[in-house]
Structure 1
């Protein structure tokens, strides 16, 4: 769980994203129970309705599900669903704009690969 929330963004979305991040990073496994609403309310010192709004988004997306009387659990296919969604978003938000800019500048695919490899390794591109 994140230690703090950003006051500049809707809190319910941050709750949703924090749970998604925990699933993607393996801190919450498929079929594992997520923190209860009261735990989240207490941890972040926020309104229960705000927590419920973020949780309901995850339920609507099939990322978590309710076991009656037991709590909320990570759906078996949640990691794959999230990876697919984030992969699609990454492609649209980063790869497409990168290629749209690189082509008119005359970069070859090999040069782009070399730049990405360099950035991946933390090297500065000269």
Structure 2
């Protein structure tokens, strides 16, 4: 756990990561509040707060008497949220800086291709 961020946010992000990497499938039962609390040695209320973040966003759904389950479409919903966050946190500032230094869209694309190739990422 990262001491710089609230534990309940980290719990939610851990479950999100499991949904995105496929280790927690849609319609599958999610870890319970008590399971998360015991595993991370935290207060169950803290774990519940993290789970409730995901319920509020439609990532998890409660099935009365059965527990929390990954919602249908949750993985795609998370991917779309992450795409939007990526654009907001990285692309918008990058484009503002590009405008300041006079780079065109074509220049940016070429720089991106060059860096991707250096990093071993292929189209």
The reply to whether TM is greater than 0.5 is yes
**Hey, what does 1:6 align to over in structure 2?**
2
Structure 1 residue runs without a partner (length 5+): none
4+ runs deviating over 4 angstroms = none
Instruction: Check 1:119–1:43 CA distance in 2 against 1; reply closer, same or farther (3 A cut).
Output: farther
| 2-structure distance, mates of 1:71, 1:120 | 43
Work out whether 1:117 is the aligned partner of 2:84.
no
| 1-structure distance, mates of 2:79, 2:12 | 15
**Hey, what does 1:57 align to over in structure 2?**
53
Q: CA deviation at 1:80?
A: 1.6
**Hey, what does 1:22 align to over in structure 2?**
18
Describe the SS at the equivalent of 1:62: coil
| 1-structure distance, mates of 2:113, 2:22 | 26
| 2-structure distance, mates of 1:44, 1:102 | 43
**Hey, what does 1:82 align to over in structure 2?**
78
**Hey, what does 1:66 align to over in structure 2?**
62
Q: Give the TM-score of the pair, scaled to structure 1.
A: 0.86
Give per-residue Cα distances to partners, 1:41-89, cap 9 Å, x unaligned: 1111100000001111111111101112211110001112111211111
Superposed CA RMSD:
1.4
Structure 2 residue runs without a partner (length 5+): none
Describe the SS at the equivalent of 2:10: helix
Give the number of aligned pairs. 119
Give per-residue Cα distances to partners, 1:83-106, cap 9 Å, x unaligned: 121111111111111111012212
Q: CA deviation at 1:15?
A: 0.3
Out of 94, 102, 106, the position equivalent to 1:98 is 94
| 2-structure distance, mates of 1:26, 1:96 | 29
| Range 43-52 or range 80-89, more displaced | 80-89
